[in-house]
Amino acid sequence: MNEQAAFPDRARAIEVIQRELTAFARRARGRASELHPELSLVASSILDLVIERDGCLAADLAGHFHLDKSTVSRQVATLESEGYLIRESDPANRRNHVLRATAEGRRLARAAARRRTDAFADRVHDWDDTDLERLAGYLTRYNAADE
């Protein structure tokens, strides 16, 4: 079947994309406890970004995830109390604190990343490399619009 027949117009294609991304997000939220049993989806996302950026400010996390600062504050407090994050003084501005992952936080994130990678690999095991590269490119392009 050709793509044009499946989506006769742009509005219909956008409707399908929105529906499928919503389903993806809901399933991801539902499966988060399986893939990252120690942390909520929000907390694990925060930990992952802190690791990816090798430290960042809580305000940066709120901006990146479009979360309320109080939500980020609660999640950061939980991550700190569990020993996964620490606060360090920001050398550029002593009033700010840079959040950094602890060794245990990094270990936890690596284990969760392996579980997520395995789950994704299972889901797309029969996709060819071209399809995977296209999806990766499209998702990167889509998410870059928020940056």
- pLDDT tens by residue, 101-145: 999 999 999 998 898 899 889 999 999 999 999 999 999 999 888
Q: Kindly report the CATH number that applies to the domain delimited by 37-144.
A: 1.10.10.10
For 2-49, the pLDDT digits (tens) are: 555 566 788 888 999 999 999 988 888 777 777 667 788 888 899 999
Looking at residue 6, what is its pLDDT?
67
Answer for the pair 79, 47: CB distance below 8 angstroms, yes or no. Answer: yes
- Which CB contacts under 8 angstroms, 24+ apart, belong to 118-123? 119/31, 119/35
Answer for the pair 43, 33: CB distance below 8 angstroms, yes or no. Answer: no
Looking at residue 63, what is its pLDDT?
94
Residue 82 dihedral angles phi and psi, to the nearest 5°: -85, -5
Tokens of 10: 């742009």
Looking at residue 31, what is its pLDDT?
77
Confidence of residue 1 (pLDDT cuts 50, 70, 90): very low
For 41-93, the pLDDT digits (tens) are: 888 899 999 999 999 999 999 999 999 999 999 999 999 999 999 999 988 88
Question: Model-level pTM?
Answer: 0.75
